[in-house]
Amino acid sequence: MTDTYTLTLYNRSTAPRWTFAVYTVVPVSGSDRLSPVAWLTKTVDSGDSVTFEWTLDHRLVFAAQGIDTGTEWTEAASMPVAAETHDNAARLGYQSDGHMFTLEPAEARPATPGRLYVDTDPNVPEYGPIGGPTVGLALSGGERNRPSTFAPAIVGTSGPGLSHAFDLDPTYYIDAGTIRQGTLDASDTWVPGPPA
């Protein structure tokens, strides 16, 4: 059984409402630029609290859009994966005649706890700020006592013939303000790091 993690946030400000957001950052190789996504969010009135709960269940995701800070990133497709098994990789393909991306299981990599992979076909277009492509990692979580859902947590640029490796040793960040779930982080300080 997967471990369950919890985080309780309290709104002790004098402001009437804040939206709390949890971001996660994991090193991703093969991307020129990374952006954390507002993964868990909840608007909390002054004096109230929210408890988020999550597991380390993952999905690999992609979108045909760029990384534009402050905008909402919406996945086009996702695929369940497990680092401890041979279901640990996905392949991003592209059908140029139909201008369509595909995400499907890839040839298995050696099962490595804490590592997931996305490989891209040679005909996948070069990254562009409007059409992407971008690849990412979604995590399962949500508000305690509510059904968990998978939501994107971090995305990175992609392109032709790349191999992306996601290191599943996350660092978590919390923010408060007027934040929408799925919004890309507004800072440009995130850079890719090589998985160990």
72 lies in a domain? yes
Q: Are 31 and 92 within 8 A, CB to CB? A: no
Return the residue matching tokens 């005909």. Answer: 123
Residue 53's domain comprises 4-177
**What is the count of structural domains for the chain?**
1
Q: How far is CA 51 from CA 67, 77, 183, in A?
A: 29, 28, 20
Looking at per-residue pLDDT, the higher value among 179 and 185 belongs to 179
145 lies in a domain? yes
pLDDT of amino acid 113 = 76
Q: What is the pLDDT of residues 112-149, one digit of tens each?
A: 778 899 999 999 999 998 888 999 999 999 999 998 89
What mean pLDDT is predicted for residues 9-35?
A: 89
183 lies in a domain? no
193 lies in a domain? no
pLDDT of amino acid 138 = 94
pLDDT of amino acid 187 = 57
What's this model's pTM, rounded to 2 decimal places?
A: 0.86
17 lies in a domain? yes
86 lies in a domain? yes
186 lies in a domain? no
192 lies in a domain? no
